[in-house]
Amino acid sequence: MDDLPENSALDAISEALAAAVRAPAAGGDEGAMLMVVQPGERNAFDQQWLQAKLWDSHRIRTIRKSLAEVAECATTDASGGLWIVGQRVTVAYFRAGYTPTDYPSEKEWEGRLLLEKSSAIKCPNMAYHLAGTKKVQQDLTRPGVLERFLPPEDAAAMRGSFTGLWGLAAGVDEGVEEALAMALADPGAFVLKPQREGGGNNLYGDEMCERLKSPEGLDAFILMQLIRPPKQPALMLREGKCIEVRYPTSAFSLRSPPNLTPVVCLTQYPMGWLSRCRACRSWAFTRRIYGWVATCASANRRDTCCGPRRRTPTRAAWLRASPCLIARDLYDRENSRSYMRSMLRILNEI
């Protein structure tokens, strides 16, 4: 334990959020932070840890609301300022809204639209949210796409971390038949991913093959080549019991500042670290290209848990490569799902 590096992620993240709350562009010193959460949130403890830190160290109040509650009680003034229960809100920090189940009715979309149209700083805003989808990740790997937004040397540096990714929309994506044939011939080397956060929705092995044989709705997925980390047995604690996992997948990743658009770069150094371990079947690592999109806007470098540090594009380069442009280009198609269509509808209205 003595060899572990110092981990100041909580302090650094709270400092970055506090700076955004009090930024002149956000409205000054009297603002609060809105934390957008799921109804009946079960993951409240780490959220409240950050909430307490913001108050203890910076005297900044946090308001916790679901998207439906935002639609019911939030308002905006003539200048776009966001107000909730009589309190000016200058930062909206999303801990929900990343999956279709977070939008069970139009009420939640109304809340999201209200936040996006307000002058409050969004973490993340809708454009960066879309840039984090699997389809954008896959589309950026196609020849010439990344080069539309970055200088050749930056694009080449990024491509050094790419793994195999294929879209499965017949008539839109190239090489669909070849990709399907490869996956069916060697299913252990691939994973099928929907447009979801995390790895719990991914399909592997026989389940993947079964889904690949049914073409209807297949365009909602991407096919990815598995990244195979070194095998290292581990002990894990689950439901109060210690179990041995033969082939876990472990991560050690460095934290960077939150993407606080449109606040300029607040810090340019790692803000702490996260170490975690899961069973291989539940978590297939990706070299998160879209993570670079979101974080290079606020830090000039990013270290990934899947490889050595590489040269990354400058913040200015990624700001020029607006994720809004990428998202509009990729998803304004007939085969877009209602979830993506609703997000683009909001983009078109703000």
In 3D space, the residue among 317, 271, 290 whose CA is nearest the CA of residue 16 turns out to be: 271
Structure tokens at 89: 């809100």
Flag the least confident range among 32-46, 243-257, 314-328. 314-328
User: For the domain that residue 103 is a member of, what is the CATH number?
Assistant: 3.40.50.1760
C-alpha–C-alpha distance, residues 304 and 4, integer Å: 18
- Same domain assignment for residues 133 and 266: yes
| pLDDT (mean) for 86-93 | 93
- Same domain assignment for residues 141 and 246: yes
Q: 337 lies in a domain?
A: no
Concatenated DSSP letters of 74-92: EEE-TT--EEETTEEEEEE
- Same domain assignment for residues 171 and 244: no
Q: pLDDT value at position 28?
A: 63
| pLDDT (mean) for 138-156 | 90
Q: pLDDT value at position 30?
A: 77
Give pLDDT tens digits for 169-219: 887 888 888 999 999 999 999 999 988 776 578 899 999 999 999 888 898
Contacts of 143 (CB under 8 A, 6+ apart): none
Radius of gyration of the chain (CA): 21
C-alpha–C-alpha distance, residues 18 and 95, integer Å: 17
Q: 210 lies in a domain?
A: yes
Q: What does the DSSP 8-state code read for residue 230?
A: P
Q: How many Cα atoms within 13 Å fall on the side-chain side of residue 336?
A: 19
| pLDDT (mean) for 254-273 | 63
C-alpha–C-alpha distance, residues 217 and 222, integer Å: 11
Pair type for strands 62-65 and 32-36: parallel
The sign of the CA dihedral 21, 26, 31, 35 is negative
Q: 347 lies in a domain?
A: no
Q: pLDDT value at position 321?
A: 38
C-alpha–C-alpha distance, residues 12 and 18, integer Å: 10
Structure tokens at 2: 């003595």
Give pLDDT tens digits for 308-328: 333 333 433 333 333 333 333
Q: pLDDT value at position 293?
A: 29
Confidence check: pLDDT of 292 > 70:
no
- Same domain assignment for residues 169 and 74: no
User: Roughly what angle, to the nearest 10 degrees, separates helices 106-117 and 338-349?
Assistant: 30
Amino acid at 166: W
The sign of the CA dihedral 124, 130, 133, 138 is negative
Structure tokens at 137: 């990740």
User: For the domain that residue 184 is a member of, what is the CATH number?
Assistant: 3.30.1490.50
- Same domain assignment for residues 150 and 68: no
- Same domain assignment for residues 188 and 145: no
- Same domain assignment for residues 147 and 250: yes
In 3D space, the residue among 85, 107, 77, 103 whose CA is nearest the CA of residue 34 turns out to be: 85
- Same domain assignment for residues 115 and 19: yes
C-alpha–C-alpha distance, residues 92 and 124, integer Å: 8
C-alpha–C-alpha distance, residues 318 and 297, integer Å: 6
Q: 345 lies in a domain?
A: no
What stretches of the chain show up as alpha helix (H) in DSSP? 9-21, 44-58, 67-73, 106-117, 126-131, 134-139, 152-159, 176-185, 205-212, 289-295, 315-320, 323-331, 338-349
Q: pLDDT value at position 82?
A: 95
- Same domain assignment for residues 188 and 286: no
Whether the CB-CB separation of 274 and 251 falls below 8 Å is answered with yes
- Same domain assignment for residues 287 and 258: yes
Q: 308 lies in a domain?
A: yes
Q: List beta partners, residue 8.
A: none
More confident residue, 254 or 75: 75
CA-CA distances (angstroms) from residue 148 to 143, 290, 325, 329?
10, 16, 11, 12
Q: pLDDT value at position 10?
A: 85
Structure tokens at 5: 């590096």
Confidence check: pLDDT of 287 > 60:
no
Whether the CB-CB separation of 293 and 128 falls below 8 Å is answered with yes
Q: 338 lies in a domain?
A: no
**Domain boundaries, position 301:** 126-162+230-323
- Same domain assignment for residues 248 and 136: yes
What pLDDT band is residue 54 in, cutting at 50, 70 and 90? very high
Q: 176 lies in a domain?
A: yes
- Same domain assignment for residues 112 and 188: no
Q: pLDDT value at position 319?
A: 34
Number of domains in the chain: 3
Structure pTM? 0.73
